[in-house]
């Protein structure tokens, strides 16, 4: 299915600017619509602090400060959106069927970001989230994990610096799991337009399931020609080996399944998903 709607949760960080640029690049490539979404913090969320010994006046003051800060952030995010959209020459309008040009719209709502983003992502072909800021624990990215675990749709992690190109040289990380199969399906619109496609597999990465040659044969039925490369771990890290192989190929989009093991196990032990989230400097599309 072609990409027609891209959801972009925006927070206003520098990484958010890179994500917005990436989203607009994708919109132009697929003649798609970017639905930018800013979720404002609900000032009423500080009300539970009443049980922590704070007076009513103190809580009211905190709510007012939270409301002002939330409003200022929403204004800054909207200004950033309008500035970047104008720079990329993308039309601001509501999405409509049959459009012959990329479009974008902006909405600001109040609530819990992880809940709203996951719900909105269920009717988006792709959700783009900013790469975690330097030093930030990737496990704290609420929007990322909300989409992965509660939307059933793919999520693209934008690099901290907007890429010069995206989707011209596509890599598929393959290990035979249901998650990697879902990622291959999500990447089909990209592969059909790519200049080159490569399947990356490794003996220590493969699980019970079809091998890389089986995937190549399946993709050929869809008109996609892909070569196969078996990569090696780097420093006993499969994730490092995967990123090294993608870099060697000149990859500008890596598609992979996320969390073949439980998220808790990956957070404790590391894992391929965690390594790629922390260290990738290229666009990564994950599906679970």
List pLDDT tens digits, range 111-126: 888 899 999 999 999 9
Q: What are phi and psi of 200, to 5 degrees?
A: -110, 125
Reference 242, options 270, 205, 269; nearest CA is: 205
Instruction: Provide CB contacts within 8 A for 230, sequence distance 6+.
Output: 201, 202, 203, 212
Least trusted range by pLDDT, from 62-71, 134-143, 170-179, 195-204: 134-143
pTM here?
A: 0.87
What does the mean pLDDT of the chain come to? 86
End-to-end CA distance of the chain: give it in Å, rounded: 17
In the chain, the domains with their CATH numbers are 5-158 (3.40.50.620), 169-287 (3.40.50.620)
Residue with tokens 């998220």: 263
Instruction: Provide CB contacts within 8 A for 155, sequence distance 6+.
Output: 121, 126, 127, 128, 129, 144, 147, 148, 285, 286, 287
In the predicted structure, residue 139 carries a pLDDT above the cut 50: no
Reference 252, options 169, 194, 196, 176; nearest CA is: 169
Name the CA radius of gyration of the chain, rounded. 20
Pick the more confident residue, 107 or 70: 107
CA-based torsion, 205, 208, 211, 216: positive or negative: negative
List pLDDT tens digits, range 76-87: 899 999 988 888
Residues 260-276, mean pLDDT to the nearest whole number? 61
- In this structure, the strands spanning 155-158 and 284-287 are antiparallel
In this prediction, residue 173 carries a pLDDT of 96
Torsion of CA 259, 149, 183, 103, to 10 degrees: -140
Distance CA 105, CA 59 (A): 35
Cross-sheet strand order for the sheet of 169-173? 91-92, 103-110, 33-40, 5-9, 126-130, 155-158, 284-287, 253-257, 169-173, 196-201, 226-230
In this prediction, residue 23 carries a pLDDT of 95
Residues 210-223, mean pLDDT to the nearest whole number? 97
Distance CA 212, CA 250 (A): 20
């Amino acid at each position: 299915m072609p990409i027609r709607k891209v959801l972009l949760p925006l927070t206003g960080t520098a990484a958010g600017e890179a994500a917005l640029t990436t989203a607009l690049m994708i919109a132009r490539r697929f003649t798609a619509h970017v639905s930018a979404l800013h979720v404002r913090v609900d000032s009423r969320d500080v009300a539970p602090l009443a049980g922590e010994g704070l007076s009513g006046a103190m809580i009211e003051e905190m709510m007012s400060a939270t409301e002002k800060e939330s409003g200022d952030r929403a204004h800054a995010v909207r200004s950033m959106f309008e500035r970047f959209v104008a720079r990329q020459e993308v039309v601001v309008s509501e999405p409509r069927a049959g459009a012959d040009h990329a479009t974008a719209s902006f909405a600001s709502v109040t609530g819990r970001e992880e809940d709203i983003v996951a719900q909105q992502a269920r009717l988006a072909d792709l959700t783009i989230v900013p790469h975690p800021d330097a030093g930030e624990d990737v496990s704290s990215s609420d929007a990322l994990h909300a989409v992965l675990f509660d939307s059933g749709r793919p999520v693209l992690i934008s690099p901290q610096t907007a890429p010069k190109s995206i989707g011209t040289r596509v890599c598929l990380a393959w290990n035979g799991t249901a998650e990697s199969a879902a990622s291959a399906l999500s990447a089909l619109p990209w592969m059909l337009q790519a200049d080159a496609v490569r399947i990356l597999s490794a003996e220590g990465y493969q699980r019970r399931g079809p091998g890389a040659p089986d995937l190549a044969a399946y993709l050929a039925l869809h008109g996609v020609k892909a070569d196969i490369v078996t990569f090696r771990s780097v420093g006993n890290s499969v994730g490092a080996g995967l990123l090294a192989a993608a870099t060697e190929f000149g990859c500008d989009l890596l598609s992979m399944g996320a969390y073949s093991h439980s998220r808790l196990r990956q957070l404790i032990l590391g894992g391929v998903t965690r390594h790629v989230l922390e260290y990738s400097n290229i666009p990564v599309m994950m599906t679970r």
